[in-house]
Amino acid sequence: MADGPLIVQSDKTILLEVDHEQANEARHAIAAFAELERAPEHMHSYRITPLGLWNARAAGLDAEQVLDTLLNYSRFPVPHALLVDIEETMSRYGRLRLEKDPQHGLVLRTTDYPVLEEVMHAKKIQPLLGPRIDAETTVVHSSQRGQLKQLLLKLGWPAEDLAGYVDGRPHPIALAESAKPGGWQLRPYQRLAVENFWAGGSGVVVLPCGAGKTLVGAAAMATSSTTTLILVTNTVSARQWKDELVRRTSLTAEEVGEYSGSVKEIRPVTIATYQVLTMRRGGLYPHLELLDANDWGLIIYDEVHLLPAPMFRMTADLQARRRLGLTATLVREDGREGEVFSLIGPKRYDAPWKDIEAQGYIAPADCVEVRVDLPRDERVAYAMADDGDKYRLCATSPTKTPVVDALVKAHEGEQLLVIGQYIDQLDEIAEHLDAPVIKGGTSVKERQRLFGAFRRGELQTLVVSKVANFSIDLPEATVAIQVSGSFGSRQEEAQRLGRLLRPKADGRSARFYTVVARDTLDQDFAAKRQRFLAEQGYAYTIKDAKDVVQG
């Protein structure tokens, strides 16, 4: 197309002209296989990576569809070498297949003899393999299924896992759907997400915050109707999952157990926190072993992008169990997306945020960055500080407090969250606003009490640390003011905006403010954090603090 919105380059980058009439259409099409890198105002930059192409291949997209997308939307001819490279990269997925053989158990089979020869001669892979059956097939030690998949991905030969799953112990679970007034039913995209997951056997479902990931988990459990282990980020989240399952399925409270720091219940459906499973004693993980001993038919990983390192090791041993990862973004700041792909499974369903918003299932949101100027003494202190102290100095500047004050007053009567990274900063703001603060040291009971009061409208302003980033359901929150963050964390930005995206009873938009110190690392990290949301189609308006405070 002579005037398309894309410029496709031989270094595997794609430029998207944001103001082009086909920009949204093209963004949607390339999101299946390309990752956003930079998102300034007029031209967004994407990169094509092997992992992105293999994810697309696992989701059923073939090379011809990817090439057609680039050719259809590109303004200039697409470099021939890039087209060939995409086709060859995608063809690598599935040339090796893990399968179950009735005589030999788990085997690695190839459609390309030299590829099997190559991987069998890799030193790290040799100990994982058993005897050679024929030119195209070799036995795999069943306990090494996960580790083999990890290593094959690193070698550039991702295996398609067709070895199947154990059924686990049966346990009846049904959704309590009802078409009657006041009842509920799965939304079309939730149903499709479950169907795609089940067709693939294991993998990740990516849905915006507020789009009902818990219900996707519940529907997968009903399809499985087996004992289920659900892994979550914290105890508050565990109790929210339990409440939702008892309300939305045939499960009773007695059938759902909590396995956390304070409670150790193993029931047909057990909800465990990542923290308790990764606790070490004498070099061992006693709770991992205890949970691994059960015959689960399904394992659900909530907020799978946060999976701690020891959980990857546990998951490598659980390849015979069906695994469902749930998340709003697969972005990991440690670059371990490849391990999520190889151990949990490829992306099975990914709904763009703006698509779900257009259907009315999540609230629209306006994003505003408010920039403050540091006073001269703070600028000098920042300039002279060690690199390790610079971000804290600018992120916690007292000049942000008048901005927070003005925004709270401007949104008087609305449910409002003030969110930050640094506890002393949050304590000071909470005292200034005369609002309660929730942080790591706040007991689970107190957190639940404050969240409950906020949901009921008894509290209108709540100050929260990063403990509220994940899995906290606050449907009527309409405004968030972010005063500091985890450096340049894109997934944190997405999660924080997600606190606001539950649809509002009166249909109003959400407002997400980020207060940053101009000309500092605070501003640089804010730009990095915004990348994922920019990919989803959210635009940030930039305002000067003086206009906010005086306005």
User: Is residue 274 a contact partner of residue 232, using CB atoms and an 8 Å limit?
Assistant: yes
User: Is residue 537 a contact partner of residue 410, using CB atoms and an 8 Å limit?
Assistant: no
3-state percent breakdown (helix, strand, coil) of the chain, nearest 5: 40, 20, 35
Tokens, residue 371: 């920039």
Q: Which residues of 270-288 are buried (b: 16+ CB within 10 A; e: fewer)?
A: bbbbbebbbeeeeeebebb
- What lies within 8 Å, CB to CB, of 309 at 6+ separation is none
Residue 513 bridge partners (DSSP): 368, 481
Tokens, residue 222: 């009903």
Tokens, residue 125: 């892979």
User: Judging by beta carbons within 10 Å of its beta carbon (0-12, 13-18, 19+), is residue 360 exposed, middle or buried?
Assistant: exposed
**What is the spatial distance between Cα 120 and Cα 128, in angstroms, rounded to a whole number?**
9
User: Is residue 213 a contact partner of residue 302, using CB atoms and an 8 Å limit?
Assistant: yes
**What is the spatial distance between Cα 252 and Cα 259, in angstroms, rounded to a whole number?**
17
Residue 205 bridge partners (DSSP): 326, 349
**What is the spatial distance between Cα 510 and Cα 364, in angstroms, rounded to a whole number?**
6
Question: How does DSSP classify residue 341?
Answer: I
Residue 226 bridge partners (DSSP): 170
- What lies within 8 Å, CB to CB, of 25 at 6+ separation is 73
Nearest to 206 by CA among 318, 61, 356: 356
pLDDT tens, position by position, for the chain (551 residues)? 468 999 999 999 999 998 899 988 998 899 889 987 776 668 888 999 999 999 899 888 899 999 999 999 999 999 999 999 999 999 999 999 999 999 999 999 999 999 999 999 999 999 999 999 999 999 999 889 999 999 999 999 999 999 999 999 999 999 998 877 777 899 999 999 999 999 888 999 989 888 899 999 999 999 999 999 999 988 888 999 999 999 999 999 999 999 988 889 999 999 999 989 888 888 888 887 767 778 999 999 998 888 887 888 888 888 889 999 999 887 776 777 888 888 898 888 888 788 888 888 888 888 899 999 999 999 999 999 998 899 999 999 999 999 999 999 999 989 899 999 899 999 999 999 999 999 888 888 898 899 889 888 899 999 998 876 655 666 678 899 999 887 657 777 877 887 788 777 777 788 999 999 999 999 988 888 887 787 777 888 999 999 988 86
| pLDDT for the residue 230 | 96
β-strand 365-372 against 540-544: which pairing, if any? parallel
User: Is residue 128 a contact partner of residue 140, using CB atoms and an 8 Å limit?
Assistant: yes
β-strand 13-17 against 6-8: which pairing, if any? antiparallel
**What is the spatial distance between Cα 147 and Cα 125, in angstroms, rounded to a whole number?**
9
Q: Indicate the fold that domain 188-353 takes in CATH.
A: Rossmann fold (3.40.50)
User: Judging by beta carbons within 10 Å of its beta carbon (0-12, 13-18, 19+), is residue 161 exposed, middle or buried?
Assistant: buried
- What lies within 8 Å, CB to CB, of 47 at 6+ separation is 12, 13, 14, 34, 35, 37
User: Is residue 349 a contact partner of residue 206, using CB atoms and an 8 Å limit?
Assistant: yes
Q: Residues 299, 304, 308, 312: is their CA dihedral positive or negative?
A: positive
Number of H helices, E strands in the chain: 23, 23
**What is the spatial distance between Cα 393 and Cα 388, in angstroms, rounded to a whole number?**
10
188-353 and 363-550: same fold? Answer: yes
Q: Indicate the fold that domain 363-550 takes in CATH.
A: Rossmann fold (3.40.50)
Local structure of 40: helix, strand or coil: coil
Q: What is the pTM of this model?
A: 0.82
| pLDDT for the residue 40 | 65
Q: How many residues does the chain have?
A: 551
| pLDDT for the residue 66 | 96
| pLDDT for the residue 96 | 96
Rounded to 5 degrees, φ, ψ at 289 are -65, -40
User: Is residue 140 a contact partner of residue 108, using CB atoms and an 8 Å limit?
Assistant: yes
Instruction: Determine the straight-line distance between the first and last CA of the chain, rounded to whole angstroms.
Output: 47
Domain boundaries, given as residue ranges, for the chain: 6-92, 96-161, 188-353, 363-550
